[in-house]
Structure 1
Amino acid sequence: MTFSPYVLGTGIAGWNFLDRTRTQQQQIFEKSPILDRAVQDFTNKIDSIQTADQLLDDYNVLQVALGAFGLEEDIANRAFIKQVLESDLSDPRSFANRLNDNRYLGLAQTFGFGSEDGPQLPSASAEKPYVNVASPEDLLSNKTLLNQALDDFGLQRYAGNEFFLQKVLESDLSDDNSFVNRLSDTRLADFASQFKFNAPPEYTSSMDAMLGEFTAMNDGAGPANADELLGNETLLNAVIETFDLEYTNPIFLKRMLEADPFDENSAVRQQEDPRVLAMSRAFGFGMPDINSFSSPDELFARPELLEEVLDQFNNSNPGEDFLRQVLESDLSDPNSFVNQPGNLAFFDLAEAYQTEWTPPPSKVKVLADEVGTKLSGYENPRQFVFDFDAFEAGLDVFNMNERQLDFSFMLKVFESDLSSETSYANLYRDPNVQAMANAFAFNPGGNDRTYPPGFAEEIADLYTDRNFEIAIGESDPNMRLALALERELQSIADAGGSEDAHWYGIIGSPPLKTVFESALGLPSSFGQLDVDRQVNEMKDRAFASFGTTHPADLLKPDKLEEFRNRFLLLSELNSDTASAGFSDPIFALF
């Protein structure tokens, strides 16, 4: 016979009974055959779950995984949960990060299919309370979190000096002469180091690093010459890794970067490795000055340069005789060859050739402009390949084009396990294709997921806790909410962000929204108000009742007990009032 948890009494009296007997009741409840089998099945199988699809394919394991986060009702919504699980958590615009319900983010963070960090204990976010504090402003606006951080280092006396703390937090910790490193109190440097607001960016691939460092130079224009590139060590290393260069001597690289990639007799054209030529063309430092050409013959003598020039103006190659007439046309004569209606598409080309030729942006610059901040947002290679302009620009960087390689081929390349010597990408004969696959690294492979010690146990505990709450809720829904209150509120606090962000999180969490509306004496119609007005009203009432406007303050033991008791008392009172047919006239104001 299955044990059913129970509560004697309602409201505060019922809570006191449940609080006294919970441990004993839950121990008995966890021994129920159905619950015990589910937990054992999850524990036995979880280490074999290496992908989101494998998790979704195993109903029993998925049931425990979702149940641990109170998401068991989504078990049939495979496509939605797959998007959650595979979200790139480093991208604030990714699917999981954009959902209002933070339980989905917790699920994604815990299983880590879209994170370089892999799976983590559900409790890990509580151990890193500042993980989502993105800027000094975020921290300074969150007084509770700021005070906690200062307390950790014995720096509470600085709490009121926001200008000083801003300079501390914005200091470059790697610079011995930065503001914080010149202060006598070394604890301030330790304090700043846990946030690392001024730390260098973390890149997800060599291509990400190359584009990031490129756009950080000269207001996004990139290095102006080979010397500037070679002088930026991070960019140089990213270039070497992106093009998978074997010979990396700076003197050699300078010669290659400055050589004319369209001159068959230049140093770079003598290299057997095609990746060196791809690098040279990608940056274009050795691009010949077409303004110095004295006749079209000099352009025609370099077929590859001619094709590059025609591409710059989106022209096809109609043949040398046609182009000669275009380039030698009198632009001011309406009867000249280029001014004929059928030839006007070549007018810009003729004008640039005869007046002043403006070199096109480098191929790296074009790719950086096309990709922008999207690179880390591509959750799979298909998104990149079918972002046509970005994909074409990517091929161009590696001296390839879509006419040589079709989409299906490149998808197979990008999806290959780069850690396997026998993968499709690594067996392909073209070094530029291999370099491109490794540079974007959509599937680096070689990283079997290892679940941290205690992972299965923590998930199982969460699952049984929530099932116990569900069972209690069948007899008293308010008790279920009271049981979950501390955990749900802690998850909001762990997410970090500003005070208002905490309130938005509460509004986005159905159980917390219910508890807060009851504890603050708000009517059921309250949710129809504008969200900003809801936040302001909740803050006003929280301050009037509990002396604080920050939800995280309610996690203090005395405040939490006071808040929970108020919720239970008002919930019971409202229930009794409603059953008696009374209504509060103040509700009519909303």
Structure 2
Amino acid sequence: MPGGRVRDGSASLGHDIGHCSKQKASIRMVSSAFSTYTSYLVLNRDINSSLSRVASQGDVASNTDYYEENIGKVTTAEEFVNDYRLFSYAMKAYGLEEMTYAKAFMKKVLESDPNDDSSFANSLTDTRYADFAKAYNFSGDLAKAQTSAQTENLVTAYQDSFTQEETDIKSEVSYFQSKIGSIDHVNDIIGNDRLRTYVLESFGLDAKYTSKNYLSQVLTSDLNDPDSVANQASNDAWRELAAAFNFSSDGTVAAGETAQSAEQTSDLRLDYIYNKSTYPSDLLLDANQSYWEKHVAEAGSASEITSDARLLEYVKTAFGLRDTMMASSVASMMYSRTFAETIGNTELLDYFSFQTDGTVAAGGSAQTSEQATNLEAKYKTAFQASQADAVENAVSNFETRIADVKSIDDFFKSNADDDDANNDDVTEIWDVALRAFGIDPSEVKMTALRKILSSNLEDKDSYANQLDDERYVALVKAFNFDTKGDVDTPLLAQSENVTQDFTADYLSLKTRFLKGDEREKAGETATDEIEYFEKKMESISTVDELLSDSRLVNFLLESQEIDPKSVTKDELQQMFASDLDDPKSYVNQLDNKSFAKIVASFNFDTEGNLTSDTLGTVQQRGDVFQTVSNYYRQTLEEEQGDSNEGVRLALYFERKASSITSAYDILGDSALLNFFKTAYNLSTYFSSQELEKQAATVEKFVELDKLSDPDYVQKVIQRFTALYDSQNGATDSAALSILQGSSSSISADTLLAVAQLSAR
């Protein structure tokens, strides 16, 4: 079974390439003309040139072009494995060329979830299969209405809107109060947009559609004249507005008077706060309390209190009464014990001092000072509980419901349609979304909102863009609906499956070779960094944002075994500005291909902005780049193996060294095992030992925790090549010449030293 056999990670060592171009021949000549180590050095010290020569070969270039042009057209694993040219390219790239025939088996691998430890690919002993599954994404990224970052940002904006509302209300109140003292003509209000709006909105009147002329006529109305404009209005608010000012019929203020008395200005302030507040803020709490104290002191009966909607609301809030309870019933509860006992609530009787007929006794008041103080405390407690619930319930409802939204139709599903009847009084999720972006629900119809949310912002003629309102653009960006109204895969700086690959690499590197408490502690620290990285990847939208966060940059570099101190921000900016399709671009000229891998893993254009152009179907840009890079490297190693298997093994070991985390990684890979036995001059008896003994021998000779150190890796390769040449009778090997010219026994270490000298 493929999963259980010993793997040959170098992709069929000894396989005959067949017809080779002159370029192939020139590369092979390197191996035939020099010692194995010298040949390896010539290739590896300018690996970019070596790989470029491979890439330019006719058959390699043709196969690569075909792969890059067609991988984006594949949508299923079935299509992939049935396109032999495409499939064989990929299999060779990941060292699985010898399994190209096993299409059914590989289809099962490709359909495995690489992030599920129990999936088919991850259950196989040979990790090449898991690597292959990770390189493709046939399950697709998860489509969702919002990412966690989008939800968090929207909820934060929603919560912040309440603080902003208070700030805005205070600002307008302060502005009006600073101006009212200097107003001496009605036109001073009519001609000032802020003052005019403040006056109208204080009474719940429409500031947008009320004409200036009509407002002027109301403000100059004689309330003693039943035929005046204010008295003729059907809405009592107009009469209340006229009574709030002291303008004469000609619009002036009489000598010795002001446009408003201090009491009128104070009352208008309470009205403005009440009508402009959309949630129970602390500002509204204070305003309601002031309104209550003023008007209750003037009340002569319980019915006078309950006939005022604001006073009635105060009582209902304080005592937790139903919104639907009639005003007359509430009034009766204040003074009638018989009625209160009948409905089972006598609490209100203790907070008021009405006579049994519901009136205030001569010389008395509706409340004693103690009753007033106690009711104030009760109201404040109930109000603040409502204040917290109003926001928390709306947020909780939004977070719960948005997770189940699969289309715009779901988004507009009412709480009342939900199975949970307790949601009936909770803010609808579209209201939460609109408020978060400063949009009043009355501004936009549902039909228009549907068009907005399904707009493609990359199309300048889309409905949302045509509105020329950044609030609607921000609203669209907060969700992931396609033009058909269905949820889509979110466009992220890194696709989710790519981010998971980087986090897996990071965790592995941070915990490998550690044991016990040390490993656990390192794992916890790594997990904290992973959570930060994953969260930020949902909100990063430009290269500048990415590179300005050193924590993210360090994570990326360290996940690819790059020391953050070895690269500057300017260098990273040049890398991200590089054209990955241009072999001569800055990032492609770097010896360390991990930098290009990092750049390719992001969905940024060369200007550093988020783009959907880099998105593939089953393979993201970074995985395509890695597949092609792997193919070039595999081809180079194969061609070297045609003339010198030692060079191929050395190149293979150099490539795989940093991924080796245990002795069993070497023992389970026939190419690495061959390299190891040669490097340490082990007899054929070695492989007949028990596996545990073999592992112990590997750990004795190889310092596994140093295999990520390039200098150490080179020392091991030097040892291997010296022994390889001596064992294979290389005619130009200095080490072999000494052996042939001496009758004494020469140790492997001596041979190594000689080989090192000859390579200088």
The TM-score with structure 1 as length reference comes to 0.42
Larger gyration radius, structure 1 or structure 2: 2
